[in-house]
A and B are shown apart, each in its own frame.
Chain A
Amino acid sequence: MSEAHGKTALREEREIEPIVEMRGIVKTFPGVVANDHINFEVRAGEIHALLGENGAGKTTLMNILYGIYQPNEGEIYIRGKRVEIRSPRDAMHLGIGMVHQHFMLIEKHTVVENIALGFATKFLFPTKEISRKIREFSEKYGLTVDPNAYIWQLSAGEQQRVEIIKALYRGADILILDEPTSVLTPKEIDELFSILKRMKEEGKAIIFITHKLDEVFAISDRVTVLRRGKVIGKLKTAETNKKELARLMVGREVLFRLEREAVKKGKTVLEVIDLYALNDKGLPALKGVSFTIAEGEILGLAGVAGNGQKELVEVLTGLRKAEKGKVLIRGVDVTNASPRRIAELGVAHIPEERLKHGLVPNMSVAENLILKQYYKQPYCDKFFIDRKKVLENANKLIEEFNIMTPSPITPAKLLSGGNIQRLILARELAGSPDVIIAAHPTYGLDVGATEYIRKILLRERKRGSAILLVSEDLEEIMALSDRIAVMFEGEIMGILPAEKASLEDIGLMMAGAKRMGVVA
């Protein structure tokens, strides 16, 4: 780039007025400064990535823009005008729409009804006009979705499209997407990206919250990096690289490749034979699943969410009844045994929904660390729980797993997501388990915590544990697994050795288009 050209580009940049400008935003929560004098701006017709680790303050900043939180300090300008955004309704009137990480849809209503909710322009029969609009958006941006389908019938990708349509219907030309790819298949991610690109060409401003570097490069024009509540960098995507962004985001060099040592496979530990189970709606969720995992082996289970992985994990850990088939641990039949018996046989469970299953939020860190051992030695003798032993254990695990907590008696709910996962990991791995069932262990975690948890899983593999790794993150599956199984509609489409598995094949198997390998 010549110097002269560079100068004109710079001038052009100055001349384009930002559509969103946030100046000096400060937001504090008790004991935490979530946003520390943040300046942030977005222009019309760009996709702007907001990059940062968990707890960096990305979602807080966007919740301020969307009127969910009020800043302690700072000013917001929309289209050059100073505004006060007191509620999401204010935000919508200013043309700001937000697609949250967890969808805000009513499952038992149809697409049209969800969009009409609170925003119908006509009092009677508002759905007709909305259906027409939905079709219009479908054509314009490729947002295909059946207006009359019920939300519960839709895949995560389709639900996300409904959320986007909802925002567009309410007149949004500034769209905030909070980690939109975390629930999508690779194909759905491609579709989302092409939708977003079309919307950008229409002149809409898109803010894309993410902690995944690949996505920044795949879709964004510019990127703002946050770390610990502060803006660390504002860059043009084309002028940076993965290494630089990772360093800005984490504050140190990050290893992208984990050392996966060769481990000698031992005896078979977990054996699943022709397993059948129903889901919560009473429909078949597992239809004859079989596989084995040996000592020192990680079996990666890939698949789009809702294809039976959750039910499989629940049957293996005793939380759901199997209709048919067998589960053996070192030859012992544990089919439909109680969760406690299975845990006592050395099965650790890192649950998918950490807050819902893995934690008692109002109990202390120390008490949460004995959730599975509270009733036995050394924590409990005949009648009483030994508080001293409980605290000793907590101090030991807090140090060993580097759990960031003010003290062992802090309520667990005050910990950040990454530290909650460390707490669960510390508890589950404390008894050197024979089998580890890890469901989406790094879901929603930042680069640093993800790296740590993957390292721990590899360490456990080396120790000789048999690990089932359920994940939607194909990169994670590829990086950690010895063998990869793909689930689709309650069946295993195939099990491949990791070194022979290509992303393309796995993608096809996830979509149910291909069966491969040893179908046991």
Chain B
Amino acid sequence: MRIVVTRRIAPPRWFEIAVRFMAIIIALLVMAIVFWAYGISPTVAYKKLLLDSFTTAHGFSETIVTMIPLLLSGIGLSIAFKAQLWNIGAEGQLLVGAIAATGLALSFPDTSAYLMIPLMFLVGFLAGALWGLIPAILRAKLQVNEVISTLMMNYIADRLLLYLVSGPWSVAEVIGQVAYAGFYQTNLLPEHLWLPVLGGTRIHWPTLLIALASLVGAYLIITKTPLGYEIVVVGENLEAAKFAGIKYLKVALLVMIISGGLAGMAGVGEVAGIHHRLRSGFSAGYGYTAIIVAWLGGLNPILILISSLLFGGLLRGGYLLRTMGIRIGIVNMFNGIILFFILASEFFSNYRIEIRR
């Protein structure tokens, strides 16, 4: 008996989706073992993790709240990944977006919301774009590996945030009392600059609208525009792109502007819609989870909507698990296991395995 591995030439779309679905199932089974080892019944844990998030009205609204930053950042990442620019920096781009919008709001507290809220999203976009541009330029001009540089930019953004909320922008009442680590935050934004929410929920609909619009926009860009054509050619075969006269620098910069900008707007939504102030650790690693969301969605905007909803529910369920004495680290482990199985499952999408006698 022997095992023969052959390449699948062109696996059909449904098959790829089925394989991913199986990967999630297996990841859930593996996670069940972890819960069991923790002394928690896996069925109880999964009920807590999924049922509330997807079956109750309040739970589902909270799922959507968590989905918003994942969807926005995930859409941006999918465009970068299409061009094979491995942007790991959505987290940092999200943070600087939030920083820029907060800075603007705190500087002009009395300006009208009709002017300020669009402006906050704009500066958030620009800040995120700038954060993405730096690695893109380094990549295109000096062949600096963007995986490393975008990752490093996350740490810079994180430290910048910490510096601002503990230093120049820290809450007025706690100046000089740095010992209160929990108060690493700014003053509240003026109330008229808080994003409106759907009645009775925390769904800040302007950001949701932007997320859905960028979903449609991303779909149109990739499938219908010359830029989308260039992105795909660059991603699939860089040599052919040069041959066709496509400028890599231009494509790389535009892609990272879009990718970083969308993450930046996700940051604006979190600050203006949820926390109403900038505080250290406000993002809960959305930029990292968005990588999984984009990949699980096969870089397809529609599927990313589904995967971001799924992860929105899982992340929210994760918070609930804490009430059962499970540490937040377990939720991160959960994300890791899902990503691991999805990446491993791609092998089964691309290769056929036969056992022969």
Contacts and interface: CB of A to CB of B under 8 A. Distances in A.
A361 B237 contact: yes
Contacts of A351: 243
Contacts of A356: 237, 239-240
B240 A319 contact: no
A375 B228 CA distance: 11
A42 to B, nearest CB: 26
Contacts of B233: 360, 363, 371
B9 interface: yes
Contacts of A338: 245, 247
Given A29-B9, A338-B245, A371-B244, A361 B224 contact: no
B10 interface: yes
B2 interface: yes
B224 A384 contact: yes
Which applies to chain A's interface (DSSP): helix, strand, loop or mixed?
Answer: loop
Interface of A: 29-30, 70, 86, 317-319, 338-341, 343, 349, 351, 353, 356-363, 367, 371-372, 374-375, 380, 383-385, 387, 411, 414
Contacts of B243: 317, 319, 339, 349, 351, 357-358, 371
A359 B356 CA distance: 36
Interface in B230-274: 232-233, 236-237, 239-240, 242-245, 247
Max chain A Cβ within 10 angstroms of own Cβ: one of B239, B247, B356: B239
Contacts of A359: 237, 240
B9 A361 contact: no
Max chain B Cβ within 10 angstroms of own Cβ: one of A318, A353, A371: A371
Contact of B224 (A30, A340, A353, A385): A385
A386 to B, nearest CB: 9
A143 B233 CA distance: 44
B172 interface: no
A360 B242 contact: no
B194 to A, nearest CB: 36
Nearest to B224: A384
B236 A380 contact: no
Nearest to B352: A30
A319 B242 contact: yes
Closest 7 CB pairs of A and B: A340-B245, A339-B245, A357-B243, A375-B226, A371-B244, A384-B224, A360-B236
Nearest to B232: A363
Given A358-B240, A358-B243, A360-B240, A70 B226 contact: no
Contact of A357 (B220, B236, B239, B356): B239
A362 B10 CA distance: 9
Given A357-B243, A363-B233, 9 more contacts: A70-B4, A319-B242, A341-B245, A349-B243, A357-B240, A358-B243, A372-B244, A383-B224, A414-B9
A343 B233 CA distance: 18
A362 B236 contact: yes
Contacts of A363: 232-233, 236
A356 to B, nearest CB: 5
Contacts of B232: 360, 363
B244 A339 contact: yes
A341 to B, nearest CB: 8
Max chain A Cβ within 10 angstroms of own Cβ: one of B2, B243, B245: B243
B242 A339 contact: yes
Contacts of B242: 319, 339, 357
B240 A383 contact: no
B43 interface: no
B230 to A, nearest CB: 8
B225 interface: yes
Max chain A Cβ within 10 angstroms of own Cβ: one of B228, B232, B236, B237: B237
Interface string B1-18: 010100011100000000
Nearest to B237: A360
A29 B243 CA distance: 31
Nearest to A339: B245
A66 to B, nearest CB: 16
A374 B9 CA distance: 27
Interface string B325-354: 000000000000000000000000000000
B5 to A, nearest CB: 10
Contacts of B4: 70
B310 to A, nearest CB: 27
A71 to B, nearest CB: 11
Contacts of B228: 385
Contacts of A360: 232-233, 236-237, 240
A30 B224 CA distance: 31
B80 to A, nearest CB: 18
Contacts of B225: 383-385
A319 B243 CA distance: 7
B229 interface: yes
A363 B230 CA distance: 12
A381 to B, nearest CB: 10
A70 B244 CA distance: 39
Nearest to B240: A360
B245 A30 contact: no
Nearest to B241: A360
Contacts of B2: 86
Interface in B209-230: 220, 224-226, 228-229
A411 B233 CA distance: 13
Contacts of A384: 220, 224-225
Contacts of A411: 10
Max chain B Cβ within 10 angstroms of own Cβ: one of A359, A360, A374, A384: A360
10 contacts: A30-B8, A30-B9, A319-B242, A339-B243, A353-B239, A356-B237, A357-B239, A357-B240, A363-B232, A367-B229
B283 to A, nearest CB: 34
Contacts of A383: 224-225
Contact of A371 (B8, B10, B224, B240): B240
Nearest to A356: B239
A343 B245 contact: yes
B227 to A, nearest CB: 9
A353 B243 CA distance: 11
A329 to B, nearest CB: 15
Nearest to A375: B226
Contacts of B229: 367, 374-375, 385
Nearest to B220: A384
A359 B239 CA distance: 9
A424 B65 CA distance: 50
B245 A414 contact: no
Contacts of A319: 242-243
A258 to B, nearest CB: 28
Contacts of A339: 242-245
A226 to B, nearest CB: 22
A383 B221 CA distance: 9
Contacts of B8: 30
A70 B242 CA distance: 38
Nearest to A379: B226
